[in-house]
Amino acid sequence: MRLTKLSHACVRLEKAGRTLVIDPGVFSERDAASGADAILVTHEHPDHFDEGRVRAALDARPGAEIWTLKSVADQIAAAFPGRVHAVGHGDTFTAAGFDVQVHGELHAVIHPDIPRVTNVGYLVDGGRVFHPGDALTVPEAPVETLMLPVMAPWNKISEVIDYVREVAPQRTYDIHDALLTDLARPLYDHQIGTLGGAEHLRLTPGATAEL
């Protein structure tokens, strides 16, 4: 499986000639979802779901499908009948040849006065990759590669470190990092890598890794 890190929270997985894209949002590249055979979206916030990018990708590739929660599915289902699938915690499905399990229900708390939206995480191919979206969800299965949200209005570094410890993956790759300045990156790399208990890795946008 090839992992390509795109900007912010978006990642591309490729296997056997097929492509799965997770969370193409407004901070991601304009073509982040282009060429995808399947798209997964964790929640409705625009840094994870850009409707224009998703519609363009589905228009350009008639066989492409999307799996997401109901709040996102309702926005585009009418335009793409039979290709938009609403999922929730505990669901399983196959997308572009990848086996996917859905974990989690709610976005992390940003502030008590801000209502929490639904958020789901996706465990791909029996734990090869887990993308939690905007929550520190611990899946009920071992994880090899954790896509780690390192900088957000809803988290702090101690929570990120404890999350790595609780999931106990073999390795982590940073996501949700568009708000993290270059000045802060070495500090985050050191503290998460030293204290998390797993190999901590970072890819620049467009870079790939073989899993």
Measured distance CA(113)–CA(115) in Å, rounded = 6
Would you state the pLDDT for residue 44?
Answer: 98
SS3 content of the chain, % helix, strand, coil (to 5): 20, 30, 50
Q: Identify the helix (H) or strand (E) that includes residue 191.
A: helix 185-195
The CATH number linked to 137 is: 3.60.15.10
- Residue 23's pLDDT band, with cuts at 50, 70 and 90, is very high
Would you state the pLDDT for residue 144?
Answer: 98
**Residue 183 tokens, joined:** 């000045």
The closest of 205, 198, 197, 195 to 175, measured between CA atoms, is 205
Domain of residue 38, residue span: 2-111+118-210
Q: Identify the helix (H) or strand (E) that includes residue 200.
A: strand 199-201
Count of the separate structural domains present in the chain = 1
- Residue 51's pLDDT band, with cuts at 50, 70 and 90, is very high
Judge contact between 172 and 201, C-beta under 8 A: yes
Average pLDDT value for the chain: 97
Percent of the chain at pLDDT above 70? 100
Would you state the pLDDT for residue 203?
Answer: 97
Residue 84: burial class (beta carbons within 10 Å; 0-12, 13-18, 19+): buried
- Residue 194's pLDDT band, with cuts at 50, 70 and 90, is very high
What pTM, to 2 d.p., does this model score? 0.97
Each residue's pLDDT tens digit, 123-159 = 999 999 999 999 999 999 999 999 999 999 999 999 9
Distance of CA 206 to the CA centre of its chain: 15
Mean pLDDT of all residues in 59-86: 97
Distance of CA 3 to the CA centre of its chain: 12
Residue 30 is given by DSSP the state T
CA distances from 40 to 1, 182, 184 (A): 17, 29, 30
